[in-house]
Amino acid sequence: MIRLGVMGYGSRSNSVVRHALRRVDPDVRVTGIVDPDQAGVRARLDDCDRNDAQFYPDLRTMMRRARPDALMIGTRCNLHTPYAVQAAAYDLPLYLEKPVAISMTQAQTLERAYRKARCPVVVSFPLRVSPLCSMTREFINRDCIGRPEHITALNYVPYGTCYWEGGYRDYNVTQGLFLQKATHDLDYMMFLMDSPIVRVAAMAARGRVFGGNKRAGLTCAKCREQDTCPESPANRQRNQSGGTLKDHLCPFGKDCGSPATGINEDASSALLEFASGAQGIYTQVFYSRRDAHRRGAIISGYQGTLDFDWTRNDLKYIRHHAPFSDTVKAGEGLSHFGGDLELAYDFIGIIKGRGRSRTTMQDGLRSVYACLSAKESAEKGRFVKVRQID
């Protein structure tokens, strides 16, 4: 049995335990939990955990009493660093949700805490380890396109309303969607280009689509416009436009924040310079719906172009100097395109002493530093250098 101690057992932790860790090793048990919402957690726990799982007020007490074999941090974004800094003292394998930090102060505190820590960390970056991304990297390693010179990555998010109608609307917790969302994409872009991002210029559109003047706390059930508003559960169902079909907070509400006080961006883009000299572009759009969904990248060098997309679920390889192009199809139906399962293989392997992390704390920090530079660039309207780590 693998005894897991979890800080923040919300929907993501539950999904990772149920659909990924236990698929790799059915003997994973949640035995210790630090989470103030005991009722919510109990409702979420799988049957096999109900007897063993105990609640503790803090990590120290959980370490002493539950004696876990490994730790998981799945709280909301602002608490990842404080818990990870505490966890650094215990040398246990740690599964850490992204983003690993939400501010420069947090990131540097984390960097210092893990400089000497021996605790192996799996940062929850499923895209980097997904089979399609790994396959793309293999093509690059085999010199199929020559030296990678350019990458364009696109993220048209069809479920973006969740960043205005639930807990993610709280800007103090997210600090915007570069940190919340692009942290995945900038990470896999650095992985594919085999080079860190050193400089960023970014723009962000805020308060143009979501946010607005509807009264604070308004939900669809209390709204007089629910027959005409495309975001009401009834209209979403009728239009098959996605998003929750339960009553939810208004994504056009005052309490979404504002450009002056902080609000998630409707869309944001970044121009990237890699240490290798290569260039990149990243764009994320949060009001997309239905078939507009796209997430993937085009990477090119003098010899060829690779074009993969997780929603299309394939990789195209175009030779520039020969009349041949290939399409490689990927398998279907895996969570986060197979990446969650790959992270689970890494984490369980480390716990059993025979694996290594492909998504380390350094990777998590590199991505956060690039996202923080993008955020700062969008605020200041100029290029911003990215803090580098070894």
Ligand X SMILES: NC(=O)c1ccc[n+]([C@@H]2O[C@H](COP(=O)([O-])OP(=O)(O)OC[C@H]3O[C@@H](n4cnc5c(N)ncnc54)[C@H](O)[C@@H]3O)[C@@H](O)[C@H]2O)c1
* Span from 17-25, 72-80, 276-284, 369-377 in contact with ligand X (CB under 6 A): 72-80
167 binds ligand X per the rule CB under 6 A: yes
Structural contact between residues 308 and 132, judged by C-beta atoms closer than 8 angstroms = yes
CB of 179 to ligand X, least distance (A): 9
CB of 126 or CB of 301, closer to ligand X = 126
By CB under 6 A, name the one of 4, 5, 9, 350 that touches ligand X: 9
Structural contact between residues 98 and 124, judged by C-beta atoms closer than 8 angstroms = yes
CB of 2 or CB of 41, closer to ligand X = 41
Structural contact between residues 101 and 110, judged by C-beta atoms closer than 8 angstroms = yes
374 binds ligand X per the rule CB under 6 A: no
CB of 197 to ligand X, least distance (A): 20
Return the residues of window 171-210 that contact ligand X according to CB under 6 A. Answer: 180
37 binds ligand X per the rule CB under 6 A: yes
By CB under 6 A, name the one of 1, 27, 40, 51 that touches ligand X: 40
* Cis check: omega of the bond before 99, within 30 degrees of 0: yes
CB of 80 or CB of 214, closer to ligand X = 80
34 binds ligand X per the rule CB under 6 A: yes
CB of 4 to ligand X, least distance (A): 15
77 binds ligand X per the rule CB under 6 A: yes
217 binds ligand X per the rule CB under 6 A: no
By CB under 6 A, name the one of 5, 32, 68, 74 that touches ligand X: 74
CB of 173 to ligand X, least distance (A): 8
CA angle 53, 59, 64 (to 5 degrees): 75
* Span from 31-39, 254-262, 282-290, 314-322 in contact with ligand X (CB under 6 A): 31-39
5 binds ligand X per the rule CB under 6 A: no
CB of 17 or CB of 117, closer to ligand X = 17
By CB under 6 A, name the one of 2, 4, 5, 8 that touches ligand X: 8
Residue whose beta carbon is closest to ligand X: 10
CB of 9 to ligand X, least distance (A): 5
- Do strands 279-285 and 150-156 pair parallel, antiparallel, or not at all (unpaired)? parallel
Residue 250, token pair as written in the block: 């208004």
Window 296-335: contact mask with ligand X (x via CB under 6 A): ----------------------------------------
- How far apart CA 165 and CA 176 sit, in angstroms, is 14
10 binds ligand X per the rule CB under 6 A: yes
Residue 310, token pair as written in the block: 């997780």
* Span from 30-38, 208-216, 219-227, 274-282 in contact with ligand X (CB under 6 A): 30-38
Residue of 130, 29, 73, 35 lying closest to 345 (CA atoms): 130
151 binds ligand X per the rule CB under 6 A: no
71 binds ligand X per the rule CB under 6 A: no
Return the residues of window 87-126 that contact ligand X according to CB under 6 A. Answer: 97-98, 124, 126
* Span from 2-10, 143-151, 251-259, 355-363 in contact with ligand X (CB under 6 A): 2-10
Using CB under 6 A as the criterion, which residues of the chain lie in contact with ligand X when the complex forms? 7-12, 34-37, 40-41, 74-77, 79, 97-98, 124, 126, 167, 180, 336
